[in-house]
Amino acid sequence: MSDHQHEHNGHHHGHGSHQHHASMNREHFDKTAEQYEDMPQVKEMTEKVANSLLRHGNFDKNVTEALDFACGPGLVSRSLSAHAKSILGIDISTGMVDLYNKRASENGLENIKAEAADILDEAHSDVLSGKLFDIIFCSAAYHHFASPLDITKALSKHLKPSGTLLVVEFKNFKRPPPADAEPRPADASHTITHFLTPEGLQDVFVQAGLEDASIPEVFEGRVLGMDVEVFVGRATKRSSQL
């Protein structure tokens, strides 16, 4: 990931088309789906992320309808399944979606499911057509998007009035992975467009028309043998905004 360790504010930069990055993401994560969930540090990070989302989202197991965007194999969805009425996972990778649904079935979790879709591709617009959510969360994926602003605008359309968007991202990688770092999935650096700063993410929220943009929490973690600072971005949709 070292070739892409640069941070940006929330403005769009010329990193190539959405379609180009979407294709790279789809190909990479189709191939590496099962490798991610077997890594101990990923499991530890999942627990931290899920607990943070619970602290900053008003989850109610009897009411909350949530969207897990860029859901991967569903680690976070499974951790939150007991705290929501339903969770729909969306991912561009069919490999990830298949694994998500397989694991949900194996664990008897009937209130979570995933579908493969590219929300910026009109051909897939029917997957989320007419669906609105109390909470939309996205964990450690914004650095794979060619335009975080376009993604955020698309997601905001599927928030209920007063609904909450929660984004978990890496602030920076504190050091390169050591030579003896744990085995990792095939290098994903080519799928990384940039790392947003916390201020940049707040700017994206504002540009997307969301309110109360904030960074309520920053915590430490380890990913792929690297020390990282993780931050949580939170914003809400105006109560009168449709």
Please report which confidence band the pLDDT of residue 30 belongs to, taking 50, 70 and 90 as the band edges: very low
Render pLDDT for 69-107 as a digit per residue (tens, 0 to 9): 999 999 999 999 999 999 999 999 999 999 999 999 999
CA 5 from centre of chain = 19
Q: 183: buried, middle or exposed (CB in 10 Å: 19+, 13-18, 0-12)? A: exposed
- If we measure between CA atoms, which residue out of 125, 129, 132, 19 comes closest to residue 65? 132
Alpha-carbon dihedral angle through residues 106, 74, 39, 192, given to the nearest 10 degrees: 150
The pLDDT value recorded for residue 144 is 83
Model's pTM, two decimal places? 0.81
- Using an 8 Å Cβ cutoff, are 78 and 103 in contact? yes
Question: Greater confidence, 35 or 21?
Answer: 35
pLDDT at position 173 is: 60
What integer pLDDT is reported at residue 19 of this predicted model? 58
Tell me the pLDDT tens digit for each residue of 43-76: 889 999 999 999 999 999 999 999 999 999 999 9
% the chain with pLDDT above 70: 72
pLDDT (0 to 100) of residue 136: 98
Token pair 């899920």 is found at 50
Please state which of the ranges 2-11, 36-45, 189-198, 222-231 shows the lowest mean pLDDT: 2-11
Residue 189 scores a pLDDT above 80: no
pLDDT at residue 33 in the model: 52
For the segment 121-173, what is each residue's pLDDT rounded down to a tens digit?
Answer: 877 667 898 999 999 999 999 988 989 999 999 999 999 999 999 999 998 66
pLDDT, position 155? 96
- Going by pLDDT thresholds of 50, 70 and 90, the confidence category of residue 23 is low
Residue 21's pLDDT is: 46
Q: What is the mean pLDDT of residues 181-200?
A: 60
CB-hemisphere CA count at 13 Å for 69?
26
- Report, as an integer, the average pLDDT of 96-121: 95
Q: How confident is the model over 19-37, as a mean pLDDT? A: 52
Q: Is 115 helix (H, G, I), strand (E, B) or coil?
A: strand
Average pLDDT over residues 187-215: 82
Q: What is the pLDDT of residue 3?
A: 33
Supply the angle between the helices 198-207 and 148-156 in degrees, to the nearest 10.
50
